[in-house]
Amino acid sequence: MNDFTHDDEWQRDIRDRSLALNFYGNTALARGLDLDGPAVFLDRHQLALEIQQRYKFDTIIRSRRGPIFIEEKIVRWKGYDYTAIAVETKSCTLPGRETDGWIVTSRADYLLYCMLTMESDLHCHMWPMAKLRAFFLPRIEEFYEHVETERNRTASRIVPIATINNAGVPYRSFWCPTLRQGERAA
């Protein structure tokens, strides 16, 4: 199993034990999205995976205004509270295989970026993707570039959350508890 597969399985597990119940299933937290039905996670069928990979969103939720497409990022606890997000500018930087990252290619309506805390809960931030993109792309060179060492050498820019929010990009910030392994929802 490669790192991507392992990370993807980990993220889906956390999503299922936290966001599925406590964000998508909680109309108080999802207020403003005008939800009108369950979330559809694009990881259960080959066609859904192809849609996810092509259009760069993970979840579809039904609202009274039509479908809403969400790109989800869930990052592990690394021993400190996160103050920045990694905005993917190139999903692959290998010569001859370069591809743009989700900030350029995603067709999502929102970016939902969640950080696992020491207590195993999620601290989540949500921005409209088009407004985040409009803020970020003209300023791309202002932010530190980090290139992963994994096989695709993904490139991201490290962007302080406060910088995004202080620039007037609309956002929501909230906490989501995570069910512990084996724990069931009430």
Residue 46: pLDDT band (50, 70, 90) is confident
Percentage with pLDDT > 70 across the chain: 83
Q: Return the domain boundaries, the chain.
A: 3-176
Q: Does residue 185 carry a pLDDT above 60?
A: no
| pLDDT for res 32 | 64
Task: Specify the DSSP element, H or E, that contains 181.
Answer: none
Q: What 3-state DSSP class applies to 21?
A: helix
- Check if the beta carbon of residue 34 is closer than 8 Å to that of residue 65: yes
125: left (phi over 0), alpha (psi -120 to 50) or beta: beta
% of the chain exceeding 90 in pLDDT: 46
Give per-residue pLDDT as tens, 14-38. Answer: 888 888 877 877 655 566 666 666 7
Q: How far apart are CA 178 and CA 19, in angstroms?
A: 8
Partners of 62 in beta bridges: 67
pLDDT in tens, 109-161: 999 999 998 888 899 999 999 999 999 999 999 999 999 988 889 999 999 99
Q: Which amino acid is at 119?
A: E
Q: Could you tell me the pLDDT band of residue 105, with boundaries at 50, 70 and 90?
A: very high
Lowest pLDDT segment from 11-15, 31-35, 63-67:
31-35
Residue 170: pLDDT over 70: yes
- Sheet containing strand 99-100, strands side by side: 99-100, 84-92, 155-160, 144-147
